[in-house]
Structure 1
């Protein structure tokens, strides 16, 4: 009986690999923070880091919050659409459901969590997010489930052709510069080096469990978000935060190049979201933006003193703002960012873009 189950599951996988032209990969597994969280935080009872109140989701078809920290779809939604898949469902939405629904793992799953960090021990409110270590632990459970469903060879084939999207590090940088305690204990150089080393270990772990194609999004120009601008003279970008965001990205790129040479069959697409976002800010008209400093939704200076709560003001035209709330981009920004990730030239994405990665 067990043999028949594995055979049927493997046969099902073979059929699925003959997917339509629109479906470019069998599955997408997402790790990261609020840039790609599609609802995992909604299932954390003690967390207040949830996008469950108006006006989050106001531009979704339902006009209601759906766990995304923006006015509509986020980077995970757009990337899934690009590769012809439904958005990978939140892992925490599946684990308590019946086993028959675990077949959802066959097209991927999202472990991303708003507030997540690479260095989970640096977060004094760690219980409010699923940090990277726990996300990778959750994947280990999915890995075992796929092996049971498909057999080891079937699981290996699915995972080797799937996309592993990694979008994390933003909260580590913001957390470091927002914590006098962290800054007193470690230098910024030591801190970003620790981020890179920790992420490297997680990528190796995923590789050893079948991951071969990675989409890695670097840290954007965080110092230019409304929350950081309101703290500076003349509402300019916080250049110290931007400087160390760049230094982390440089370390990340070096690490990825080394992994590529050390690990057989590993391929990756790195997106320089720092340059992309800065380009939006410096040349807004070229992308249809008008407001690059202030958040669409919030209160106070630059609408950046609180997050987007029901008591906040919100703009009538979200598509002309780069930022929706004090730290998160608008749906319009995410859409163009993912366009750059998917089909971008080498100045923004290298050594290949995502379209080229899925064809490898």
Structure 2
């Protein structure tokens, strides 16, 4: 009788254990919202590609970068912790998306690309760098070239139909344009090209690359507009009154307007394409106008750096850094803190429509 009693208990335990485990497994599986993320852009979403560019000075693989990253070490992210690419991957139920150059040379293993790939590169522009002998970054077009190699391998391993299904449900994130705006003011381009002509050519070049991504499987795009880049500590530091650079901000706003129009036209041109545009310009304006509402105390000076506004020098190992990182909008001269990235990502995911249109990413993944 005792044996039967204990046997009964064992059966009950097994039933509840495996039922619970099965439920847990299902919940974990359901947590993955999209099959993968393919990320393109600049230092705002670079997770270490520039570490592999031998002659590039646009790197963040040294302290104090990464001080709040889980490993407490610099990884190549231009941030004190995680950036928007990391945080969006978490929200999508995906593991950290690796930098392309860290896995490109590894053994021919399909799993390296199945969760997605990050092609972003610090200092990258929509337009190709003029210095090709010692490139500082991977331009947007070159990032798309890398993606085409990934897509080709996915087709070889999964077959054309499965690969297309995988890619059509994945997110294609594009965060680029700020460095093109800066270049306009820092070079002789502005002597021969009007601001309107320049932003028109930026949008046209971006459109060309988006169409290439579409031709090779992309269907769901998250496009981030250029933020209020005239209000970075670096831009402010160049002004005698330490206020925002109005010319730079005006140029960014002008480009965003052209970009939105281009995306609307693209939607009518390409069958099955869907997108979510994020108005980072307006959200960053809110941060600066009403910092306390978002948990910020300091929105002008960088947390890490030297000199006025901590913007006379980048966040180098000999620079000083603040202890209250979550109170700061900016980590260094030009990049947001992890705290700011988190708020940006919440807006990207959930809206409202005022900042993410025609739909937010939560709705985009459900399309």
TM-score, normalised relative to structure 1? 0.93
* Residue 342 (structure 2) pairs with residue 335 (structure 1): yes
Give the distance between the partners of 1:59 and 1:113, measured in 2 at CA: 21
Match of 2:112 among 85, 97, 104: 104
Alignment of 1:1-360 (within 5 A): 20-100=29-109, 102-121=110-129, 127-179=135-187, 181-360=188-367
Deviation, structure 1 residue 142: 0.5
Distance 1:121 1:190, change over 3 A: farther
Give the distance between the partners of 2:263 and 2:284, measured in 1 at CA: 22
Structure 1: runs of 5 or more not aligned:
1-17
How many residue pairs were aligned? 342
Deviation, structure 1 residue 233: 3.2
Deviation, structure 1 residue 19: 7.6
Give the distance between the partners of 1:125 and 1:66, measured in 2 at CA: 25
Give the distance between the partners of 1:296 and 1:348, measured in 2 at CA: 27
Moved runs in structure 1, 4+ residues, more than 3 A?
Answer: 121-126
Deviation, structure 1 residue 110: 0.7
Deviations 1:102-143 (A, max 9, x none): 422111101000000001145688601011111010011001
TM-score, normalised relative to structure 2? 0.91
Give the distance between the partners of 2:285 and 2:45, measured in 1 at CA: 20
Give the distance between the partners of 1:238 and 1:124, measured in 2 at CA: 30
Deviations 1:219-240 (A, max 9, x none): 0000000000011132111010
Deviation, structure 1 residue 49: 1.1
CA contact (8 A) 1:81 1:87 kept: yes
CA contact (8 A) 2:129 2:139 kept: no
Deviation, structure 1 residue 266: 0.4
Deviation, structure 1 residue 87: 2.1
Deviations 1:123-167 (A, max 9, x none): 688601011111010011001100000010011100100000000
Deviation, structure 1 residue 72: 0.2
Moved more, 120-129 or 236-245: 120-129
Larger Rg: 2
Give the distance between the partners of 1:239 and 1:163, measured in 2 at CA: 34
SS at match of 2:56: coil
Structure 2: runs of 5 or more not aligned:
1-26
Give the distance between the partners of 1:124 and 1:284, measured in 2 at CA: 41
SS at match of 2:30: coil
